Chains A and B, each alone.
Chain A
Amino acid sequence: AQKVTQAQTEISVVEKEDVTLDCVYETRDTTYYLFWYKQPPSGELVFLIRRNSFDEQNEISGRYSWNFQKSTSSFNFTITASQVVDSAVYFCALSEASGGFNKFYFGSGTKLNVKP
């Protein structure tokens, strides 16, 4: 079973539209971390946010916001008023403790195309 599921393979929007990227995770740990990374065409993964399992407060950073819901094991990412520069592949990731060290799992990514 997939530890991190990003069901949306590819999304296309027109500039200034809002878009939400879905992420569903699976873990038995009570302590874990969730991440979002952006991978632009250049290829380098860029860190966006880290959330621990005890903090369900939603977070907003400029045009980006994240909705963490433990009840549905989801950690969704919304971009408000999208821009062409937001075009990239976005990855959700889970980190859980295992035998004294952390195991990291990435989803398969959602490719976002923002058209002018």
Chain B
Amino acid sequence: EAGVAQSPRYKIIEKRQSVAFWCNPISGHATLYWYQQILGQGPKLLIQFQNNGVVDDSQLPKDRFSAERLKGVDSTLKIQPAKLEDSAVYLCASSFGRGQETQYFGPGTRLLVL
């Protein structure tokens, strides 16, 4: 069974530029999560989708971050404009249902904002 796919794996941009990350969850997984992991810290949940609807985006900085999951499968996370403090690893995870089920993580996208 294929795992969670993410691209790109690495991205370097200058501040005020825009960037987008893509995630394809495990087939059949209804719930998709985006996390931000700053170096030396644990992952912080940014947004959670159930199928193509947003369940929780309370920690998403909505003035610059946006995310969508239009067909209930793959998802895109965008930052516009990027700030230095956005440098982090962006992790995508998926789980089968909406319950308290195990999340499976992708390899992440490492973002460096200069």
Q: B45 on the interface (CB 8 Å rule)?
A: yes
CB-based nearest A residue for B33 = A104
Given A33-B100, A35-B102, A106 and B44 contact (CB-CB distance below 8 Å):
yes
- The answer to whether A52 and B100 touch across the interface, beta carbons within 8 angstroms, is yes
* Residues from chain A with Cβ under 8 Å of B105 in the complex: 37, 44-47
- The answer to whether B107 and A106 touch across the interface, beta carbons within 8 angstroms, is no
Count of A-B contacts judged by CB separation below 8 Å: 55
Q: How many interface residues does A have (CB within 8 Å)?
A: 27
- The answer to whether B102 and A50 touch across the interface, beta carbons within 8 angstroms, is yes
* Residues from chain A with Cβ under 8 Å of B55 in the complex: 101
Q: B25 on the interface (CB 8 Å rule)?
A: no
Q: B91 on the interface (CB 8 Å rule)?
A: yes
Q: B56 on the interface (CB 8 Å rule)?
A: yes
Bound-state CA distance A43–B106 (Å) is 9
Bound-state CA distance A46–B102 (Å) is 11
Given A43-B89, A45-B91, A91-B42, A104 and B108 contact (CB-CB distance below 8 Å):
no
Q: Number of contact residues on B: which range applies?
A: 20 to 34
- The answer to whether A102 and B99 touch across the interface, beta carbons within 8 angstroms, is yes
- The answer to whether A101 and B108 touch across the interface, beta carbons within 8 angstroms, is no
* Residues from chain A with Cβ under 8 Å of B106 in the complex: 44
Bound-state CA distance A106–B2 (Å) is 25
Bound-state CA distance A23–B77 (Å) is 31
* Residues from chain A with Cβ under 8 Å of B50 in the complex: 101
- The answer to whether B100 and A108 touch across the interface, beta carbons within 8 angstroms, is no
Bound-state CA distance A106–B45 (Å) is 9
Bound-state CA distance A33–B48 (Å) is 17
Q: Which residues of A contact B (CB under 8 A)?
A: 4, 31-33, 35, 37, 42-47, 50, 52, 91, 93, 95, 97, 101-109
